[in-house]
Amino acid sequence: MKKDSYLIRLERPSDYFEVENLTREAFWNIYRPGCLEHYVIHVLRSDKDFVPELDFVLVKDANIIGHVMYMHATIMTDDESKVPIMTFGPISIAPQYKRQGYGKILLDYSMAQAKALGCGALCIEGNLDFYGKSGFVVAGSKGIYYYAAKKGEIVPYFLLKELKKGYLDGITGTYHTPQGYFVDKKQAAIFDAQFLPKEKKILPGQIF
């Protein structure tokens, strides 16, 4: 997709280090001192649930300023059947381009491509203030619950969006985050050593 002065295309192997560094810059000291997200995407590319057809970069002025990747996931229904869905993330925008609409542009484009691939619904952990602008709602309000919470508990950051209208009609169950997202912190620290040193800070609003 090409529009105005930016381009959205599939990630290439030659992009990997640049994308990992972008992700590191985007998430450093946001949710924890330092970050894990750049190592997460490094690991996910080799995961069985990775969807390479939905691994996008946003390019502006010959530089990659955004990235998002998708993973296969499932909802385990109350009658113990599995409903295939997808999840995505991390979604990264270079710090100097945040709050300029690029995150939503990349998100909306990638969701349209996911729908075209046959994805019926998405579940994510995220901020409703941002994702609500693209049609996400709190998943518990639709009868889909978060694996790490008590059954029936409404988790405000666990969100859902149907890409196919009615895809989850009549379904209640529990979403399980793909295992690939749970990375080893020691291995992440080893991986991080190849990047330029950055100070880890404890800041207000961090959750880990």
How would you classify the pairing of strands 92-93 and 82-88? Answer: unpaired
198 domain-assigned = no
User: 56 lies in which domain range?
Assistant: 2-176
What residues contact residue 80 under an 8 Å CB cut-off, 6+ apart? none
pLDDT at 2 over 50: no
196 domain-assigned = no
Q: What is the pLDDT of residues 154-206, one digit of tens each?
A: 999 999 999 999 999 999 999 999 999 999 999 999 999 999 999 999 999 88
Cis peptide before 197 (omega within 30 of 0): no
pLDDT at 3 over 90: no
Q: What is the pLDDT of residues 119-131, one digit of tens each?
A: 999 999 999 999 9
What residues contact residue 20 under an 8 Å CB cut-off, 6+ apart? 38, 39, 41, 42, 195
Q: What is the pLDDT of residue 4?
A: 65
96 domain-assigned = yes
- The greatest distance separating any two alpha carbons of the chain, rounded to the nearest whole angstrom, comes to 51
Q: Nearest Cα to 73, choosing from 178, 194, 206, 189?
A: 178
In the chain, % of residues over pLDDT 90: 94
195 domain-assigned = no
How confident is residue 31, by pLDDT bands cut at 50, 70 and 90? very high
Q: CB of 106 within 8 A of CB of 56? A: yes
Q: What is the pLDDT of residues 34-50, one digit of tens each?
A: 999 999 999 999 999 99
Beta bridge partners of 87: 71
- Centroid of chain to Cα 143: 22
Q: What is the pLDDT of residues 48-86, one digit of tens each?
A: 999 999 999 999 999 999 999 999 999 999 999 999 999
128 domain-assigned = yes
Classify residue 61 as left (phi > 0), alpha (psi -120 to 50) or beta.
Answer: left
204 domain-assigned = no
Q: CB of 86 within 8 A of CB of 150? A: no
Instruction: Output the domain CATH number for residue 102.
Output: 3.40.630.30
* Whole-number Å distance between alpha carbons of 85 and 53: 15
Q: CB of 73 within 8 A of CB of 176? A: yes
Q: What is the pLDDT of residue 119?
A: 98
pLDDT at 7 over 90: yes
207 domain-assigned = no
Q: What are phi and psi of 54, to 5 degrees?
A: -125, 45
* Whole-number Å distance between alpha carbons of 31 and 43: 19
* Whole-number Å distance between alpha carbons of 127 and 161: 13
Q: What is the pLDDT of residue 207?
A: 87
Total count of domains within the chain: 1
Q: What is the pLDDT of residue 1?
A: 46
Q: What is the pLDDT of residue 167?
A: 98
* Whole-number Å distance between alpha carbons of 110 and 196: 30
Q: What is the pLDDT of residue 133?
A: 95
Q: What is the pLDDT of residue 109?
A: 98
Beta bridge partners of 68: 56
* Whole-number Å distance between alpha carbons of 108 and 56: 12
pTM of the model: 0.95
Q: Give me the chain's average pLDDT, please.
A: 96
206 domain-assigned = no
